[in-house]
Structure 1
């Protein structure tokens, strides 16, 4: 990968400020900071917001970014959470559970491949040890379900192997971990932690009084909103059988399988009345692969986000993302399995918007917080 932004220098600089957070000789780097440094340095697309399988997209290579403290030559690290599927998983045990975990994990990797047009993938690791960082890359393989073996379980977890990697699943947290082995030839970056980072910061801002404030940060209701792909009835989520993603299934007239819309709850219009253009006013809507649709808000109370032609949205969301066949209903079970139930709408201006998928429960966090 071509380093366009002083990757090692930025990692080193942040690590030297570890005294702001810890007295340990082991450098501290927040995982979000590590992700942002990587994307900035290599001009990679930052996917961490959507919380899909990959954290970055570098020229159609899906990158999983991990930073962790390691005192030995390996570490077990979280690779997936299945909170929305905990009830389903509780019905399985032993090897059957390992197989089901493999299916769910692979489904989410394949989802990210489809959404972001990923062709290959790898993990980029920043392992933190006393006075140094160890950098290396390793495989980002799907789980080889046909080769699952050495299945062991206890009250707290299940362990298994697939011939390539070792995995463990924590029951209480519904979290899947993978063991990462640090190779002996990992790149070593020495780190000297600054004794007094506070004085350095004071001097920095005193000498640079004209630093520009950030202008492109996400601001709720101004340059982004979250939309649910579902409705709520008696505190339970459901997908409308004859509207929304399943509008093609509505009665009254002959329908095309491409007829769908993304619901816009009335709360969005009440709280953020100026976010979307006026009803039936066209604007550009860019999907994660860079393709641009013509879109509009429409129907009573501007309750629907649709594309023109409508089939563009269904081809992307129903066929490519959800992989539903014509005539197959979208369901909460399908969304839960893939780990998302909302979309984010990003606003550049009134004529240009972007859309991406968001993890389960993002809408409720957005609207109620």
Structure 2
């Protein structure tokens, strides 16, 4: 599917890095099953196979490369039939809290599908897979399977298994479990036919390896370059709404003729104070310098902080950013006001801005509530 299409060098490098990390398992436990932290698995996958890492965005894909979106999982193999978490819906709980089991199942399937669709549109992908690293005694296995939308036409509640804690259901592709208390969706993965399998030699004394010159050959023990990041809301942080004449509805503001795709993304004033110098903008003089904004699919746009006090940023021409958000991601008809409900429908209400250098930034969507969590953590 995906792994087989990578170059032999990439495949070899990927396997070697997994073996190196697995060999350090005695740092964490004395089990014969090698340990692999999921964040390490994500970073190794993207480094070795030259994929784009999306894990921080908390969206339907953990990575993408070319036209393929990828969900990454690692877990103990067991009997090869494992339910693993694929989505959380804590921020959507009011949509299904009072529904019966059948309606809850359908609402969760709808929410899941809407999220996948928005993620596909944002990254321009046409294929979706799960890439799995399962762990057995002394070895790893790599499995892959297609990632499907939940098929609404064949969706069926499993009444025999369903309890007051878990709702079990299935479609023509897979079996699912919804854990009610945590609003978490699990999918059953069937891992019976590995793409490849390889041994992992767990070191008796991993500390000696970490202190040796040999470890310098591997990325996993090198300090990774860290990028500054901020979350921005796609709504007014003050009112909690998408205002009718600003932000994503800037096209509807008066004063002059405006293009139907004119928008800007709000920048709350505290971000300029708390993260001073993040954007090429001087809050003391209100001086603004242009920068490059990189979309998830790699397209580059000219952008600039806009308005007095640096209240937002827009692209030049501003219709470029607006068309991408309004027409491609949200699929809003021309002339229709954007509401918070439109963001809620696809499970996103924020963007993650990553500073690649002083004049180059990357943008990606983030799940609902991401900006609020960011504000709670960093706003003084």
TM-score by length of 2: 0.88
Deviation at 1:253, TM superposition (A): 5.1
Q: Which of these residues, 99, 102, 105, is aligned with residue 109 of structure 2?
A: 102
Cα deviation for residue 135 of structure 1 reads 1.3
| 1:296-335 matched pairs, under 5 angstroms | 296-335=304-343
What is the Cα deviation at residue 127 of structure 1? 0.9
* Closer, same or farther: CA 26–198 of 1 in aligned 2, 3 Å: same
Do structure 1's residue 155 and structure 2's residue 164 form an aligned pair? yes
User: Distance in 1 between the 2:216 and 2:50 partners?
Assistant: 29
Partner of 1:349: 357
- Contact 2:114 2:347 survives alignment (8 Å): no
Alpha-carbon distance between aligned partners in 1 of 2:221 and 2:171, rounded to the nearest angstrom = 50
Mapped partners of 2:215, 2:86: distance in 1: 42
Query: Hey, what's the Cα distance between the residues in 1 that align with 2:346 and 2:130?
Result: 21
Structure 2, gaps ≥5 residues long:
282-286
Q: Show the counterpart of 1:2.
A: 6
Partners of 1:303 and 1:167 in 2: how far apart?
A: 44
- Cα displacement (A) at 1:289: 1.3
Aligned-residue offset at 1:204 = 4.0
2:227–2:355 contact (8 Å) kept in structure 1: no
Q: Distance in 1 between matches of 2:222 and 2:196?
A: 35
Q: Give 1:99 deviation, angstroms.
A: 1.8
Structure 1 residues 176 and 212, CA gap change in structure 2 (3 angstroms): closer
Cα offset for 1:212?
11
Q: 2:32 aligns with which of 25, 35, 40?
A: 25
1:275 equivalent in structure 2? 278
CA shift digits 1:81-104 (9 cap, x unpaired): 111111102232232222222111
Match of 1:65 in 2: 72
CA distance in 2 between counterparts of 1:336 and 1:207 reads 46
Match of 1:122 in 2: 129
1:22 to partner: Cα distance: 1.2
Among residues 345, 361, 367, which one is paired with 2:369 in the alignment? Answer: 361
Aligned-residue offset at 1:216: 2.5
State the secondary structure of the residue aligned to 2:212.
helix
- Partner deviation per Cα, 1:265-323 (whole Å, 9 max, x = no partner): 11011122322224453222121112121211121211121112111111011111111
Q: Which residue of 2 aligns with 1:189?
A: 198
Moved more, 81-90 or 236-245: 236-245
Alpha-carbon distance in structure 2 between the residues aligned to 1:287 and 1:206: 35
On the 8 A contact 1:125/1:136 being kept in 2, the answer is yes
In structure 1, what is the equivalent of residue 62 of structure 2? 55
Structure 1 unaligned regions, length at least 5: none
The answer for the alignment partner of 1:86 in structure 2 is: 93
Give the SS at the match of 1:136. Answer: strand
In 1, the alpha carbon distance for the partners of 2:177 and 2:139 equals: 28
The question of 1:45 aligning with 2:64 is answered: no
Once the 2 structures are TM-superposed, how far is the Cα of residue 191 of structure 1 from its aligned partner?
A: 2.1
Distance 1:205 1:186, change over 3 A: closer
Separation in 1 of the partners of 2:194 and 2:352?
41
RMSD between superposed Cα atoms in Å: 2.3
